[in-house]
Amino acid sequence: MIIFVAVTLSAQGCADSVPSSRARWEMEQGGLVSSGQHGLLLRAQSVLARVESGCGTLPLHIAVLTNDAPVAHSFRDGSLYVSTGLMRQFTDEELAAALAHELGHLVIDGLVSPEPAALAGVALQTDDVELHADLLARNILHAHGLPPAALTTALEKVAAASRHESFYQPLVRRMKTLQTLDAQAR
């Protein structure tokens, strides 16, 4: 998910005392993990390092949200967020798949340029931005020696946790496409 954010700067060039829209959004998502949960951030940083190489000049930053829902978000400034719920439910390979999916959104928006191998074979013309990000994620995973099928298992876990029909049905369609690709890759 890409969200556009603007931070207001005061005349002195410092952020105003009014919370920025990003800080408000972070609080709405449950806030950032405390220093006592530093291990979660270290794990997220380590997994991001496995998939971010060759993604161009946009600096990527990761933060962990205190949120039980298995969610990940990306912002146009290169900020990536994963939730504690996602980290508890996902293996490192599935976490890498979620981050690769978010990188896919940044690729679609022209903000990062992955290695050419990560773009190979993504010729499917689709208006489905989520599926397009999935396809890019599979290639990013493959280019970094990670199993593309990890994205399918990650989405299966997200679907199992989803209680909203409007969210669940599009996930099922994406999973069917990915399962077909997984079967073809075997």
Domain coordinates of the chain in residue numbers?
2-185
Tokens, residue 149: 């099928």
pLDDT at 126 over 80: no
Phi, psi dihedrals of residue 52, rounded to the nearest 5°: -85, -15
The answer to whether the pTM exceeds 0.95 is no
Spatial CA neighbour of 145 closest among 118, 167, 183, 113: 118
pLDDT confidence tier of residue 112, bands split at 50, 70 and 90:
confident
The residues, any chain, with a CB within 8 Å of residue 118's CB and separated by 6 or more, are 54, 107, 136, 139, 140, 142, 143
pLDDT digit string, tens, across residues 20-39 = 999 999 999 999 999 889 99
Comparing 11 with 56, the larger pLDDT belongs to 56
The residues, any chain, with a CB within 8 Å of residue 168's CB and separated by 6 or more, are 159, 162
Residue tagged 């006592």 (tokens): 36
Tokens, residue 61: 């930053």
Tokens, residue 51: 């998939």
The residues, any chain, with a CB within 8 Å of residue 45's CB and separated by 6 or more, are 62
pLDDT of residue 1: 38
Average of per-residue pLDDT across 8-18: 40
Tokens, residue 93: 């390979």
pLDDT of residue 18: 56
